Structure 1
Amino acid sequence: MTTVAGTPAIGSIAARLERLPHSRWHVKVRVLIGAVTFFEAFDQLLAASALPVLMKEWRLTTGQATFAVTAASVGMLLGALGAGWLGDRIGRVRTVALGVAVTALASLAVALSGGIETFALFRFVQGLGIGGVVPVAATYINEIARSDRRGRFVLLYEMIFPAGLATATLVAIWVVPNLGWRAMFVIGALPVVLAAMLPRHVAESPRWLLARGRTEEAEQVIAQIEAEVAAATHEPLPAPAAAPAQERSQGRLRDLFTGRYLRRTAVLSALWFVAYYVNHGISTWLPSLYTKHFGLDLTTALIYTLLSNVTGLVGTLIVALLIDRVGRRPALVAALGGTMVSLTVLALAGATSGVQVAVFASCTTFFLYAINAGLYLYSPELYPTHNRAKGAAFGGVWNRIGVILGPVALGAIIGSGGSLAVVFAQFAAVAAVGAVVALCAVETKGRTLEELNS
């Protein structure tokens, strides 16, 4: 059997990944996977930027506008389900590449749509790709990170997602008024190039290869990674520590709902739902609320929306720097509590002006983006390699249910004559429930993926 530093391949993959110092190899992989995630985030928010124009151009009712923005969310839900199975079946990298190709090509089709029906259809297809890529990409990044720095490593990568959201809004500020909403979706088709590049430049997860019984390939990949890291650091690699305990899993879907994993899945699902119910319920409608409810011009509305995205990016950075110190559970509880407080204050203030909403919505996204990024770190930690993509993707299913119901709830309240104060009060109540649920979360700080699932 092939050995490296005297350690046999079987059972040593995790130990050999754990001993790798941070290097250009880690940066390269995080940049390439991050570029994928950036464009997935960019594409996710395109409908929100286009919606104010579409409502006028196609004379959409509130119900039709809700249909337009939720079509992609339904696709994301189904995409998360399918990609979780594919990620554990055919590999992390191939699944991500396939999802990126679907997202990009569907974006081009959306740009060519001639009415709300075809727009919604192709947004649904685009959602299939977005929903599948993000959780599987996060799973891959988790599997190559060291346990002592996994929180910071993964969350600095996850900052790419809010950066993509912010960029989508920033680009829309100029593109939509000058080139039209279709140009935004043409830009969203650019990552089709990444779909072709990814399998050539990013090695498959050696943890996944070993779990699938492909020991020789896992050995080749880890040896290649070790060679790249050693060349980049110009130092011999430290000897691997003792191999961690072996994971106990047969890779069955039902394993997510039995034994200790039942609690993990229940808590995780609730947190995903709460985070995205609140986040998407607010962010999807913000540009339209600014223009329709407060009478602001489109450029001002998009600038206010950009402010929320920027504060979200700052929130993600702060939690990335702190989460390995404070732990996952305290970070989630604090961020959900902050979300609740921000929304409660906005509801009590009455949400009477665009500036007031912009300020408190930006405070809310500061916390919400931190929660979302934290969950992309936390989800893969809770499951063994055989089921890691399925477990992370199942959380993504509840994420998408929240994505669907959040905008629907806001649209229903506004459509029935309800006030914005009521809208934000119900979002605050949901965030309060999430904070209570987070108290039941299992702490994963500083433990290897194998230790957490042995």
Structure 2
Amino acid sequence: MRDSSTIGLRLDGLPLSGFHWRLLGLIAAGMYFDSFDIYIAGTVLAALIHSGESTLKLNATFVSVTFIGMMVGAWLSGVLGDRFGRRFSYQINLGIYGFASIAAALAPSIYWLIFFRLVMGLGMGAEIVVGYATLSEFIPAAWRGRFGTILNLIINTSLFLSTFLGWLIVPHYGWRWMFVIAGCGALVVWILRKSMLESPRWLAARGRTDEAEQIVARIETACGVDPAVAREAARSAARQATRDAAQTVAPAAARMSELFSRRLLTRTITAITVLVALFIVNYAFVSWIPTFLVKQGHSMSNSLGLTALMFAGGPVGSLIAFALAERVGRKWGIVAFSLVCVAFGVAYPFAQSAAMITLLGFAITACIYVLSSFSVASYVPELFPTELRLRGSGLANTIGRAVSIVVPYAVAAAFAGFGISGVIALIVATLLLQALIVGVLGAETKHRSLEAIAAETGDATRGDAGERAAAAVSR
């Protein structure tokens, strides 16, 4: 008998090996070029204005269609990924924005460029949903949070590379080469990722247990584990867990409406909350800080210099998250750093010297990236059962992207009416609401199998049994 309930136990019982690091590398490479493609917008748009090929209004349209495409892409990737598989979804979205980037490099006018940017947005919005969720389904529970933070750290370095290459290339060779780099890089990864395996957890959830068994056996062999021994240990642990729970786990419904059922509603609310909060805080502070500094009387050069120092807090925040992901946990990590960020935010309007402004900005940026590592990179995919994981993550990302479209207008209104204090008040209120909702409704996922986290939504006893089984297999 090949029992689908043992698939997750066997994956969580594996020792960390080269297989897991190669998987991380392939997923990170695709998401890196996705992020790179997002960040080149500033350089490209400035060059288009300078050359007379665009206007401020058309540039604004370019930015808007990017977010619209990403919003739709996040939604579609959830639907397609749960229906046709993780492998299908991450390959099709990577191909979309890779080929669209090449097409953008050949665009004959700004209008065609805007159209191709919309298509690129579909792929870019999908990649963030599929990448993090796929990684979570392969990595053992004891390392899942840390791998999410590593992936987040790798992706965030694309901001520096895109800015640096833009400085080197655009003045001498033009803006089109930025899209060539992004598109070619994405297509190379697209070819390399054809060898990636389908998620055994997804296959098992779809009833394709023979395929799931074969893939898990290949992974176990690659990790130096005897599949026969691991299979029997997992079955024994699963039988014991079933006896302890006095019942078997009923499969969860796979309809989208299940996300709003009593069983999963608190998970859905939590996921939406953390992503909406992340996008509000990120776009209200990180994207606007150079403008704030100029408006407060700093020169353009001084403003950009201070901003660069503040943004150095990003990698530091990702490293902090790596150190704490499996110690503090994702739930209480989000709560704690929301409150820490509130404290720094409250102090920020009272800073007078450039040194203190920079120090507090550095600290706020670090907190934002800690929250990013905990939430979008780790926590959100963990909250949903396998058969609804991408749709749950996609829904939360879709709503987050929709909110991000209106955030600039809210920030501009707050700044116009109350100055920097108004913007900080918006950030503080968002973080306090996040801390409250996650603290009250959120589930802790630290060191827990995805199956145990999912089972908890139906019955706490089943969740405990799943954890005991996972621990037995690990031993």
* TM-score of the two chains, using structure 1 as the length reference: 0.86
RMSD, aligned α-carbons: 3.0
Which of residues 174, 184, 192 in structure 1 aligns to 2:187? 192
Aligned to 2:37: 43
> Structure 1 residue 261 and structure 2 residue 255: aligned?
no
For the structure 1 residues 425 and 60, does the alpha-carbon distance in structure 2 shift closer, same or farther, using more than 3 Å as the test?
A: farther
Give how far 1:357 is off: 6.0
d(CA) in 2 for partners of 1:79, 1:23: 32
Aligned counterpart, 1:21: 15
Which residue identity is paired with 1:314? V
Report the AA paired with residue 380 of structure 1: P
Deviation at 1:330, TM superposition (A): 1.6
1: CA distance between counterparts of 2:362 and 2:112?
A: 33
CA drift at 1:69 = 2.2
Give secondary structure in 2 for the equivalent of 1:324.
coil
Deviations 1:184-243 (A, max 9, x none): 22221121121122122x111101111111122111111111111118x9xx86944613
2:435 maps to which residue? Answer: 435
> Residues 79-118 of structure 1 correspond to what in structure 2 (within 5 A)?
79-113=73-107, 116-118=110-112
CA distance in 2: counterparts of 1:359 and 1:169, whole angstroms? 23
Q: Select between 242-251 and 185-194 the one with higher mean Cα deviation.
A: 242-251
1:12 matches 2:6: yes
Deviations 1:130-168 (A, max 9, x none): 111111111111111212222113222232221223332
2:471 aligned residue: none
Residues 129 and 335 of structure 1: is their aligned pair in 2 closer, same or farther, counting only changes over 3 Å?
A: same
User: Can you list the C-alpha shifts for 1:13-68, whole angstroms capped at 9, x where unaligned?
Assistant: 11111211011111111111111111111112221344444455459776655433
Find the residue that maps to 1:325 and give its secondary structure: coil
Distance 1:285 1:106, change over 3 A: farther
Matched residue count: 439
Question: Of 322, 325, 328, which aligns to 1:326?
Answer: 328
Match of 1:380 in 2: 381
Matched-pair contact (CA < 8 Å) for 1:71–1:123: yes
| Post-superposition CA distance 1:308-351 (Å, at most 9, x none) | 4442122112112212111212210122223333333333447x
Any stretches of 5+ residues in structure 1 without a counterpart?
2-7
Structure 1 distance, partners of 2:109, 2:422, is 33
Q: Retained in 2: the 8 A contact 1:206–1:219?
A: yes
Map residues 49-448 of structure 1 onto 2, 5 A cutoff. 49-58=43-52, 65-113=59-107, 116-189=110-183, 190-200=185-195, 202-230=196-224, 239-240=233-234, 242-243=237-238, 246=249, 248-286=251-289, 294-297=298-301, 306-349=308-351, 359-375=359-375, 376-411=377-412, 419-440=419-440, 441-448=442-449
Deviation at 1:102, TM superposition (A): 1.4
How far the C-alpha of 1:417 sits from its partner, in A, is 7.9
Distance 1:66 1:417, change over 3 A: farther
Distance 1:116 1:359 in 2: 40
Higher Cα Rg, which structure: 2
Secondary structure of the residue that 2:325 maps to in structure 1? helix
Would you say the 8 A contact 1:348–1:421 is kept in 2?
A: no
Change (3 A) 1:65 1:431: farther
Q: Secondary structure at the match of 1:242?
A: helix
Judge conservation of contact 1:246–1:450 (CA < 8 Å) in 2. Answer: no
Sort the Cα spacing of 1:421 and 1:80 in 2 relative to 1 into closer, same or farther, 3 A: same
**2:139 corresponds to which letter in structure 1?**
A
Scaled by the length of structure 2, what TM-score is found? 0.83
Q: Distance in 2 between matches of 1:169 and 1:305?
A: 14
Percent identity of the aligned residues? 31
- What stretches of structure 2 of length at least 5 have no aligned partner? 242-247, 456-475
2-structure distance, mates of 1:59, 1:344: 43
- CA 1:436 to 1:177, structure 2 compared with 1: closer, same or farther past 3 Å? farther
The CA distance in 2 between the partners of 1:287 and 1:102, in whole Å, is: 33
Measured after TM superposition, the shift of residue 367 of structure 1 is: 1.1
**Alignment-derived partner of residue 451 in structure 1:** 452
Given that 1:52 and 1:287 are in contact with CA atoms closer than 8 Å, whether structure 2 keeps it comes out as no
CA contact (8 A) 2:142 2:448 kept: yes
Separation in structure 2 between the aligned mates of residue 159 and residue 100 of structure 1, nearest angstrom: 20
CA contact (8 A) 1:384 1:449 kept: yes
Report the CA distance between 1:304 and its aligned residue: 5.3
The amino acid of 1:199's aligned partner reads: K
Any conservation in 1 of the 2:280–2:404 contact (CA below 8 Å)?
Answer: yes
On the 8 A contact 1:21/1:229 being kept in 2, the answer is yes
Letter in structure 2 aligned against 1:385: T
Q: Alignment partner of 2:254: what SS?
A: coil
Distance 1:356 1:115 in 2: 45
Q: Is the 8 A contact 1:45 1:284 kept in 2?
A: no
Contact kept in structure 2, 1:52 and 1:291, CA below 8 Å: no
SS of the equivalent of 1:380 reads helix
| More moved, 67-76 vs 83-92 | 67-76
- Provide the C-alpha distance between the structure 1 equivalents of 2:412 and 2:105, rounded to a whole number of angstroms: 25
The one-character-per-residue Cα deviations of 1:242-286 (angstroms, maximum 9, x if unpaired) are: 136646312110110111310111122021101111213333445
For 1:4, the equivalent position in structure 2 comes to: none
Quote the offset at 1:397 in angstroms.
Answer: 1.2
